[in-house]
Structure 1
Amino acid sequence: MREIKFRAWNCVRKCYIYNVEHEYDDDLCCFSDALDDSGLIAEQYTGVNDTNGREIYEGDIIRFQLFATAQGIVGDIRYNSRYGYCVFFYNGVKTMWRQEYWTDYKALQVVGNIHEDPELLEGDNDD
């Protein structure tokens, strides 16, 4: 079973707050009103670490290295109600990789997040 962890993006201070699990209600499957009303965006840990051992959360921007000489493909981590955590890549055509596929690859590297580094995404990032 994977570890349940959350971080929250503070929209006012433009920074992350970690270890906000205590605000999550397992029975209701949502965050407390205090967290929801405070301008924080909660993002859950996927249970997977990148090549450098960094935890991968929703909202992270990752690079997948296909070949040693290639620049790599950039995408962001999102939760999909049908498939769970997915990587949405923008290499000309939107591609979605379900977590069951990308966890086997050791070439995933967190290079930023959607709040601080949106310019890393190549193309439209809408669903």
Structure 2
Amino acid sequence: MIKFRAWDKEEKEWLSIRTIGFDDDGSLVKWELLQSTGLKDKHGVEIFEGDVLEIPVAIDTETLNGEVVFEDGIFGVKDVLDGWGFDIGLVPLIEIILAKKVIIVGNIYEHPHLLEGDNG
């Protein structure tokens, strides 16, 4: 089963989803609909689009934060190494989950500061 959660852009709160209503043009004006990746962090918490993950880096036991996105048909973390001068684009989430013990530290709606500047 595909799972979703929704962020109410006007009220700035999470919504419980029972049904989904669209405007005439097919858009979700008031909500941001976010899909589950089907993967879990090291604590067993389900990872959704828009979550911010803390990703351990082998060097000096530092961590980097990255946003979970769905792009080009895959879930991934985009530009996670930009702060280190690497431009590698989208890293598939499955590669990060298999290689590292990531944890969800927040989401882009309630915790946007987690993605600002040096966040490790």
Whether TM-score is above 0.5 comes out as yes
Per the alignment, do residues 68 and 51 of structure 1 end up closer, same or farther by CA in structure 2, a change over 3 Å counting?
farther
**CA distance in 1 between partners of 2:101 and 2:116 (Å):** 19
- Give yes or no for contact 2:41–2:97 (8 Å, CA) kept in 1: no
The correspondence of residues 18-29 of structure 1 with structure 2, limited to 5 A, is: 18=16, 20=17, 22-23=19-20
Gaps of 5+ in 2: none
Amino-acid identity (%): 27
Partner residue in 2 for 1:48: 39
Partner residue in 2 for 1:6: 4
Partner residue in 2 for 1:118: 112
The correspondence of residues 68-87 of structure 1 with structure 2, limited to 5 A, is: 70-82=61-73, 84-87=74-77
Between Structure 1 and Structure 2, the one with more strand by share is: 1
SS at match of 2:99: coil
Q: Following superposition, which runs of at least 4 residues in structure 1 exceed 4 angstroms of deviation?
A: none
Deviation at 1:68, TM superposition (A): 9.5
Deviation at 1:67, TM superposition (A): 4.1
TM-score, normalised via structure 1 length:
0.74
TM-score, normalised via structure 2 length:
0.77
| Cα deviation code 1:42-89 (max 9, x no counterpart) | 00000001011111000000011124962311100001124x101121
Gaps of 5+ in 1: 24-31
